[in-house]
């Protein structure tokens, strides 16, 4: 991932409120296209311009070829608010971020994809199954309304539930149900996104089920796929996380964290 600064220059007089609304809208549209990551974008006010600092999956994430139509409309709204399209300044690689999937766009495609996130991650929730590296959302076909907002909103909900169950003080069991059961509303939404993405790309897309608890390690290792009841245990952990994988159900999961080595 890379840190960039976006400089929004004023070309005419404008109000602070008008400029703020246009910049916030523009950053939101970039986020829903997967061109910038996270939810907080520090923006400073200067004499005649504004500067926002963002994190991008790649150095060229903000290239016009990666834009959605909604980003283009947001640029027009910047102009209407008296601001020029932002000038970009690459600050360097982000030390604390995940590395973007190395599969070249349009060439060697991943053998499979995975919808996975956690409360620790702000990167794309779509990962390459071969490398377990995040795939920039703008590399993928839009799932609805011209961008990837539905994927981002699913990610926000999953991470909120993960944070609640990790804290273990408020709504822990309800949150754990949402991220660990196939019949939860969150899982149904996520698996629907997987099915739609698979239909658009032709690449198998798997859904991650979180697992914690259980009575014993032996019982955990023997638990069947919650989708079809088949044996889905792997001979060895995949990417050091996943101990179970069901190809027909497009599910992966971990051995309960209570019994993980």
| Residue 123: both structure tokens together | 């990167």
Residue 121 has pLDDT above 90, yes or no: no
Domain 2-93: state its class.
Answer: alpha beta
| pLDDT in the model for residue 224 | 96
| pLDDT in the model for residue 18 | 93
Mind listing the pLDDT tens digit for each residue in 206-244? 999 999 988 888 998 999 999 999 999 999 999 999 999
| Residue 152 neighbours by CB under 8 Å, 6+ apart | 31, 32, 34, 137
| pLDDT in the model for residue 1 | 86
| pLDDT in the model for residue 133 | 93
Of 104-113, 146-155, 191-200, 211-220, the least confident? 104-113
Mind listing the pLDDT tens digit for each residue in 59-113? 999 999 999 999 999 999 999 999 999 999 999 988 877 778 777 665 567 899 9
| Residue 45: both structure tokens together | 């006010």
Q: What percent of the chain has pLDDT over 90?
A: 81
CA distance 123 to 34: 9
What residue ranges do the domains of the chain occupy? Answer: 2-93, 113-253
């Amino acid at each position: 991932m890379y840190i960039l600064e976006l400089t929004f220059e004023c070309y005419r007089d404008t109000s602070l409120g008008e400029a703020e609304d246009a910049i916030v809208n523009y950053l939101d549209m970039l986020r829903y296209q997967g061109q910038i990551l996270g939810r907080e974008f520090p923006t400073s006010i200067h004499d005649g311009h504004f500067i926002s600092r963002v994190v991008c999956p790649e150095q060229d994430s903000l290239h016009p070829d990666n834009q959605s139509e909604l980003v283009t409309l947001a640029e027009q709204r910047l102009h209407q608010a008296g601001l020029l399209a932002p000038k970009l300044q690459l600050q360097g690689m982000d030390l604390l971020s995940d590395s973007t999937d190395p599969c070249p766009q349009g060439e060697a495609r991943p053998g499979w994809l995975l919808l996975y996130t956690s409360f620790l991650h702000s990167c794309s929730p779509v990962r390459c199954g071969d490398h377990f590296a995040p795939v920039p959302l703008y590399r993928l076909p839009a799932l609805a309304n011209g961008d990837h907002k539905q994927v981002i909103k699913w990610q926000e909900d999953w991470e909120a539930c993960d944070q609640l169950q990790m804290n273990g003080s408020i709504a822990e069991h309800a949150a754990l149900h949402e991220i660990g059961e196939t019949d939860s509303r969150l899982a149904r939404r996520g698996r629907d996104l997987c099915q739609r993405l698979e239909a658009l790309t032709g690449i198998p897309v798997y859904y991650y089920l979180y697992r914690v608890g259980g009575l014993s390690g032996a019982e955990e290792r023997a638990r069947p796929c919650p989708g079809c009841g088949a044996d889905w245990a792997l001979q060895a952990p995949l990417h050091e996380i996943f101990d179970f994988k069901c190809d027909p159900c497009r599910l992966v999961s971990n051995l309960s964290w209570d019994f993980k080595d």
